[in-house]
Amino acid sequence: MPPYIPLIIDEKIMAYSDVRDLEWPNYEDLYLPKLVPFLRDAKQALQYIKDLQLGKDAIILATYPRSGTHWIWEITGMLLKGKAEYSKVSREQVFVEGLSDMSQMQSYNGVISTHVPFEWLPKQHVDNGGKIIYVVRNPKDTAVSIHSFLCSIGLIRSNTFEEFIHELYLGRKAMYGGWFEYNKSFIQEARRRDQILMLSYEKLKRNTEAEIRRLASFLGVKCTEGLITEISELTSFSKLQQADKSVREDKKMADIMKELQLNEAPTVYRKGEIGDWKNYFTVALNEEFDKAYAERMNDVDLQIEFE
């Protein structure tokens, strides 16, 4: 992939769309969000990520969108630094497919964030036993969070939740292959590879200090109980929401959105709750979703909290 080619965006692509008309970039059956590398050439971008040669101490933070990436990225950064201190750079600086020049990630030795499915992760990192933090969040809250985010960037309208679920979440065009396929393959890989730490948003929320301790041990970081408590407090939803506005020295999220001609200040820190889906799913939609979940996850042993 060339290092940087400015993207000419068709205005129609980025204007508010009917959910049904929203065309994601895709490679065969894998639909991807509207990010510059995917809009240029989805197949090439995926291949570039798969071929990335990361540094030997790199850690991949693998998440389906809106599963708590920013939160866990911040906690991980504090653990690695050994200090309860917010990062001055935003997580978007290391969001590989959000970068118009992904070559910045060659030889990168820190935490890199991506939503690509397991099979597209940097192969050399996976084959060499490189560390991967994988986070799962219950699919109903994830759906609400993605829908709200897409509304906040101006891609879809807020009255479209049910259509969104049908067309872009349960349907074939669900981004990154959809919540089900994405998580099924990561769960299977996490069960057979020590290099993957599987975290759950709900467990982290309910039992924050114990989960931070587990993450510290996976990272091989020694830290005091005092530090764990401090990290837990500093990364609570309200503190992190505030810090994100005041601490960052870059505007990478705004830059990404500007390049795509979308709203430059989307809502990343929205509610941070378990069970907010109840405010969005009708009884009928919930029944339909539960049926789809039971069918599609019947071969996976996943205990996940919905409320």
Query: Which CB atom, from 31 or from 86, has the smaller least distance to ligand A3P?
Result: 86
Closest CA to 114 of 34, 46, 206, 42: 46
Query: Which CB atom, from 276 or from 288, has the smaller least distance to ligand A3P?
Result: 276
CB of 70 to ligand A3P, least distance (A): 4
Query: Which CB atom, from 47 or from 241, has the smaller least distance to ligand A3P?
Result: 241
CB of 123 to ligand A3P, least distance (A): 24
Applying CB under 6 A, which residues contact ligand A3P?
63, 65-71, 141, 145, 148, 205, 235-237, 240, 268-272, 276
Query: Which CB atom, from 131 or from 205, has the smaller least distance to ligand A3P?
Result: 205
Question: Which residue in the block uniquely carries the two structure tokens 């000419």?
Answer: 8
Query: Which CB atom, from 238 or from 303, has the smaller least distance to ligand A3P?
Result: 238
CB of 196 to ligand A3P, least distance (A): 17
CB of 102 to ligand A3P, least distance (A): 19
CB of 36 to ligand A3P, least distance (A): 18
Query: Which CB atom, from 125 or from 137, has the smaller least distance to ligand A3P?
Result: 137
CB of 178 to ligand A3P, least distance (A): 16
Q: What are phi and psi of 256, to 5 degrees?
A: -60, -45
